[in-house]
Structure 1
Amino acid sequence: MLQTVGEMFGGNQSGVSDFILLGISESPEDQRVLFGMFLSMYLVTVVGNALIVLAIGTDVRLHTPMYFFLANLSFTDLFFVTNTVPKTLVNFRSQNKAISYAGCLTQLYFLVSLVTLDNCILATMAYDRYMAICRPLHYVTVMSPGLCILLLSFCWLISFLYGLFLTLLMARVTFCGSRKIHYIFCEMNVLLRLACSNTQVIHMVQTATGSFLFFTPLGIIILSYVWIATAILRIPSASSKYKAFSTCASHLAVVSLFYGTLSMVYLKPLETDSMKDSVATVMYAVVTPMMNPFIYSLRNKDMHGALGRLLLGKAFQRFT
């Protein structure tokens, strides 16, 4: 399958058949420790996000726009870590750390697409919170199931078209020097640094399109929360203010974590490459998807109840 992916992207233009994913450390002792850490984080991420999706899907009380988008965010995070971490775990336990050219492009495609999708879903969730707090009388009418599906479909469409666009550009790059990647997965800026062909135009296109898809959702989020904060400050009751803010707290925490880690990787010159960059990619590619389920369920009574009913229901079925 991966060979056919390479052909779809225009064939191997690189002159290399594979790349070497060196990861964070080449020390055998460190790799044993890292294997245990990454395996634990991966299992926690998979279980946590899968429980969020199942709890929302099976509990009719959570069939609302906010939880609809949250379920899709968890599904995206589940897919995101599965795109990168299993290969990383194999590399930790193997002497052969190679990833094929087609496999690298495939990994890059899903990486770009899913990061963009996370970005778009977070912006859509901010708009949902704006409607709930600033336009409560119109919320049910505006945030209809049809509009929610339309917004989510647009997020998926723009994300996967953008991933395809950048991957097609990378398929035209020539690689003839080093094949070593000091990251746990194929990341676009790293691949551009390894290229021996002129990548200035590709970098300019990536910067322009990436900035638009990064700052536009971020702008929507910031503008939504400016209006939300203004609306909350007008509420006379302190308890009502707290209740309104608490519905946004989890989303704000996830947004801060997502954009904070992402900016450490992409808001920097292309030429820079350090251990800090490699650790930063782990933060947004592994740690953030792992933390999201905890953030959303930590102080959310609705999620507590849904998860309890889901787990207790399974336990009850086991003993009957």
Structure 2
Amino acid sequence: MSSLLPERPAVPNYPTASPYQKQLDVARAYFHEQLQSSDVEWDSQTKSDVELGAKKDLEDSSAPNTVRGVTVVKGVSPETFLFGVVTSDRLRRLWDARLDTSGIVASYSPDEFTFYSTTKGFSFVVSGRDIVGASRIFETGDGYELVQTSVDDLVPAQKGKTRATLFLGGWKVEAAGSDTKVTYVVKVALNGSMPSAIVNKVATETPMCVGTARDTFYKHGFAPFIRRSSLSAKDLVVQNQRNVDDVYRLTLSTRTVGAEVEVVFDREKLHKGGVNVSVEGEGVETSVDEAAGVIKVRATQENKEMVVVVRAK
């Protein structure tokens, strides 16, 4: 697995556009079509304050259903929820029971990367699935969209896994006053042999992720994440953000002295006792504002590689 998920996945000409623009454009167009569709097109129900919906493909009866989940998360900004809960590997392990492994294969910019993800087996006789995909983040003015779709040619077939096809995995987080409205739309073919009961169960569980992610935030807060407004991709390359044994590890490459990035941490729940920050390698200095819940990382040398490590006190 480590050979598929490098520690420093940024491409040499980072930041640049990924070679998967066409696929992502198609996926985003389908995402917007579903966001704008009338409620009467969906087979809908409400469960645990999540509006669930399913829609059949009228042009292809053999295609998987498109499913969606919608909820409101109180007391959180779109940025914090998307980057501190949805995309955090630490928090995702709490809200996504199917997740086995996930990580970046290649990073093209702070907004675009390719990924490889695997799920646990569905039963003793039904193997787990894996997905190879392209991902892009879009700023929308009042929030963000995260759009993902399959690009199977990137990683060869893996032993013990059946390759699923992700037509669309789309998250939309938008401000609703001091709260955040979250919409998750998915169309995925699990492929391979699978009992219909498991297929139906997965189709119900998948859009409920908005509810489990919401409840995870209420209970645990959010994991450290990079403040979007502080990103300067040409001057400081964010190679990776990973949580290992509940320790946040931010892998960086410096290009310009003085470049800074800010890491936001949860001073109310996950790190309410504060943080200890250390650096493996050289080329940056750090400072912590415990009251604001912000770690500043500043480049002091050019062309250096390092890992900023954040632990709870």
Q: What TM-score do you get using the length of structure 2 for normalisation?
A: 0.26
> Which fold has the larger relative contact order, with Cα–Cα distance below 8 Å and residues 6 or more apart in sequence?
1
Q: Flag the structure with higher strand content.
A: 2
Tell me the TM-score normalized by structure 1: 0.26
Structure (1 or 2) with the greater helix fraction: 1
